[in-house]
Amino acid sequence: MAHTIDPFIQNRLLGRGVNIIGYDPIWRSRDLGRFQAKHFRLIHEAGFNHVRINLHPFQFMDNNPDHIIQPAWLETLDWAVQTSLENGLLVILDMHEFNKLGEDPVQYRSHFIATWRQFAQRYQYAPDSVLFEILNEPSKALTPALWNEYLKEPYDLIRETNPDRTLIIGPAFWNGIDYIQELELPEQDKNIIVTVHYYHPNSFTHQGAPWTQYRDQVGTPWLSTSEEEKIINDELDKVQVWARQHNRPIYLGEFGAYDRADMESRVRYTNYVARQAENLGWSWGYWQFDSDFIVYDIPADCWVEPIRDALIPGPRS
């Protein structure tokens, strides 16, 4: 029997989170995994409320029209979902194939739909604490107008088997805050949380990142000056105005500063963005646990304490 879920309550339950295992070799083989079961417990004990599992299923599909995902990959996902829930964490299943879909929306549309057909069927009886994010950072050829068209089919497909599942949907142009006004959602469906990502200014947050134009530019600080803080406040406030107008909760699905920035600046920035999001009543997910922008050093088996404490201040047991 259908029941009503309040997305604003769901958003409060999401609270503080972290992105996990998107680039972990665990998807090729559980034996290769950097991320282990104990890390779910550590995440919960640190004070996080949810994990956003970044999913790249396309390379693990067969070439038949139904694009069936390999059983071993799905078993790894089952393990991640179940172990999250056992450790008191809400779960976001984040479809993270934005690069392939952005580069060739036509070629990969069938993969996109097939993924959600399989996820929706597999997790239709999962608890309300499992949320579906239809696509991370639609971008490139997946323009705002095209994204509004592309999200309809997976949305309809999900609602066939998951009529009460809380969905997360964000604007095109990398979930950019400046494009939220172009996002078109099913007006009658209130069980949707809207996501945005925030990495401004990129010259600070992505300095030294090898995939960006800032790869050779390091040494840019973030000093939490009144001018720097005002820029963040003004930009987040624009999203808040939209959210109030449309009566939608907001999830800041990614933010952070790349590891090449100086630690003091990263701490100031990370803490400021997290607190401002909370002041606005948003949930948030830090980018990310492992790989880069890290909050946990897996080889050293310890938290990057300055970043952890910037995200979740307070005494430690």
Query: What are the domain boundaries of the chain?
Result: 7-311
> What are 314's two structure tokens?
């307070």
Find the mean pLDDT for residues 27-55. 97
- What per-residue confidence (pLDDT) applies to 315? 79
CA-to-CA distance for 255 and 289, rounded, in angstroms? 12
- What per-residue confidence (pLDDT) applies to 3? 62
- What per-residue confidence (pLDDT) applies to 1? 35
Find the mean pLDDT for residues 118-134. 98
Nearest to 67, CA basis, from 109, 125, 100, 121 = 109
Summary mean pLDDT of the chain: 97
263 pLDDT more than 60: yes
Taking a C-beta distance cutoff of 8 angstroms, is the pair 183, 193 a contact? no
- In single-letter form, the type of residue at position 154 comes to P
CA-to-CA distance for 302 and 20, rounded, in angstroms? 16
Q: How many CB atoms lie within 10 A of CB 3?
A: 7
Residues in a beta bridge with 196: 252
- What per-residue confidence (pLDDT) applies to 4? 81
2 pLDDT more than 80: no
Q: Please tell me the pTM assigned to this model.
A: 0.97
> What are 27's two structure tokens?
């998807």
- What per-residue confidence (pLDDT) applies to 163? 97
Find the mean pLDDT for residues 35-40. 98
Given the candidates 3.20.20.80, 3.40.50.150, 3.40.50.300, 3.40.47.10, the CATH classification of the domain at 7-311 is 3.20.20.80
pLDDT tens sequence across 144-188: 999 999 999 999 999 999 999 999 999 999 999 999 999 999 999
Instruction: Please identify which residue in the block is written with the tokens 């100031």.
Output: 268
Lowest mean pLDDT among 62-66, 96-100, 119-123, 139-143: 62-66
57 pLDDT more than 90: yes
- Supply the Cα-derived Rg of the chain in whole angstroms: 19
- What per-residue confidence (pLDDT) applies to 314? 87
